[in-house]
Amino acid sequence: MLTIKDINPNLINSQYAVRGKIVSRAQELEAQGRKIIYCNIGNPQALKQKPLTFVRQILCLVEYPPLLEKPETPKLFSKDVIERVKFILKENPSGTGAYTQSAGIPFIRKAVANFIEKRDNIPSDPDKIILTDGASKGVQAALTMLIKSSRDGVMIPIPQYPLYSATITLLGGVQIGYYLDETNHWQLNESILVKSLAKAMEKGINPVAIAVINPGNPTGAVLSYDNIQMIINFAKKHNLTILADEVYQENVYSEELKFYSFAKVMYDMNETQTTLFSFHSVSKGFFGECGHRGGYLEVRNIGTDAFEQLIKLQSISLCANVDGQIVTYAMVDPPKEGDESYDVYVTEKQSILNALKEKAEILGTELNKIKGISVDIPKGAMYAFVKLDLPYEKGIDPNTMSDEELLKYNAQRDFNYCLSLLEETGICVVPGSGFGQLPGTMHFRTTFLPPKEEIERLVVLIRDFHIKYVDRLRSY
């Protein structure tokens, strides 16, 4: 019988906090009849976000083409949707039940390239686009290509989305953490990058890539154009491949901020030597189609021989699922003005994005009113990384601890906080230690996806819990 001692230690060592122990406990409590507010994961439709009509109408007809022949269909489905579905079926006549090319259905890759061209006003090559089962598979493919030995290191943000740390561990590589600057809205800081790279190299690590998440998970930060330029220059100088995780590109809530893609900034800089992988997904933005597992990666500045290997890697799992490819098509080529489905599409999109913006504001503003809690009000993505300033128990002096001891100690403390929060209020958030944090700091990550009324209730529950929790800590 297979037991844990027989399995790959890299799997045992990899951690994925957003579905970790706190979530297991939440599920146990739910099974006992407790109401749980799941704020642990960016899964919009699990938190009552409705799917977009346009997307679901397309999927419905593509999955069951005989509906196109029914007399009721023109009354139930928009005219442009019916036309679109006929086009999809013409371009992909084998339907959703057949494998596609390894890189994905060609007309969808072309549509992705057009989307990038329109978004950024830059050229994009459909032959350098691969449709993936969500962005996760794209990131995993890139890391699989890049990690060649146990000395190869990938620079990842701290805090980061644990897909990165877990995959690097799984592949037997090394994480080179770089801290994001909480005092500067979680932007990247060049001197921090330089220091973390130098420290890794001193240890004999060979840095091969840098991963950047923009807009940020778990930080909710949106990187400025200058910051991206700095990162590209840094990567170029140190011969690092860039992994640009841009799955939250539609989730920018501040009028003063704008999403800039790495591809656009790199094009403007005329940079042709640094390899860039960019990732996008149907799971986030206003689509929230997490379950359909759709997305794409685009690669720039890659050798033909290396790209062939990437295609081979895709071939090993045949192709991305076809429904996910179709949803990716719907994302990159939405209804146009004048199409029958256009108005509904725009209304649904705006209502989702406006609600997210409003909820980010409520969450951030109300949490900041609580003594001992502070948060950079999220300007993007779907999360707030909330800082906790908790009193130390009697007899504990953090100044006498090493960084390692502090990290370990605070990991236990933020875990305890999140577990108590769950037990006492039913709110399920993720301890900051699951994403990484500066020694001596403590956080939790929460989404602001639940409906507005729940967010309003949630901040009151957190406030009341926090006051009691701090009193308890003081009394120990």
Ligand X SMILES: Cc1ncc(COP(=O)(O)O)c(C=O)c1O
Residues contributing to the site for ligand X (CB under 6 A) = 42, 134-136, 161, 163, 213, 217, 245, 247, 281, 283, 290, 295
Whether the CB-CB separation of 414 and 444 falls below 8 Å is answered with: yes
d(CA 307, CA 124): 15
CB of 220 to ligand X, least distance (A): 11
CB of 30 to ligand X, least distance (A): 21
CB of 243 to ligand X, least distance (A): 10
In the bound state with ligand X, the residue whose beta carbon lies nearer, of 230 and 297, is 297
In the bound state with ligand X, the residue whose beta carbon lies nearer, of 246 and 366, is 246
CB of 448 to ligand X, least distance (A): 14
Q: Which of 459, 427, 450, 462 is nearest to 363 (CA)?
A: 459
CB of 415 to ligand X, least distance (A): 21
- Strand, coil or helix: 219: coil
In the bound state with ligand X, the residue whose beta carbon lies nearer, of 281 and 437, is 281
d(CA 242, CA 208): 9
In the bound state with ligand X, the residue whose beta carbon lies nearer, of 212 and 265, is 212
The residue with tokens 């039940």 is 97
In the bound state with ligand X, the residue whose beta carbon lies nearer, of 103 and 430, is 430
Terminal Cα distance for the chain, rounded: 46
CB of 107 to ligand X, least distance (A): 21
d(CA 151, CA 137): 23
In the bound state with ligand X, the residue whose beta carbon lies nearer, of 186 and 465, is 186
CB of 32 to ligand X, least distance (A): 28
C-alpha atoms less than 13 angstroms from C-alpha of 436 in its C-beta half-sphere: 20
Residue nearest ligand X by beta-carbon distance: 134
For the record, the structure tokens of 242 come out as: 């860039």
- Strand, coil or helix: 414: helix
CB of 135 to ligand X, least distance (A): 4
The residue with tokens 């003005």 is 337
CB of 147 to ligand X, least distance (A): 18
Give 322's DSSP letter.
H
The alpha carbon of 22 is separated from its chain's Cα centroid by a whole number of angstroms, namely 20
d(CA 406, CA 400): 9
In the bound state with ligand X, the residue whose beta carbon lies nearer, of 314 and 410, is 314
In the bound state with ligand X, the residue whose beta carbon lies nearer, of 77 and 253, is 253
Please report which residue ranges of 64-131 form alpha helices under DSSP H. 73-76, 79-91, 106-120
Count of CB atoms situated within 10 Å of the CB of 416: 14
In the bound state with ligand X, the residue whose beta carbon lies nearer, of 217 and 241, is 217
Give 210's DSSP letter.
E
Helix (H) or strand (E) holding 139: helix 134-146
d(CA 178, CA 171): 20
In the bound state with ligand X, the residue whose beta carbon lies nearer, of 213 and 240, is 213
d(CA 455, CA 424): 17
The dihedral sign for the CA sequence 261, 19, 44, 428? negative
Give 274's DSSP letter.
S
Whether the CB-CB separation of 250 and 353 falls below 8 Å is answered with: yes
In the bound state with ligand X, the residue whose beta carbon lies nearer, of 287 and 465, is 287
Which residue type occupies 132? T
CB of 328 to ligand X, least distance (A): 10
Give 252's DSSP letter.
B
CB of 134 to ligand X, least distance (A): 3
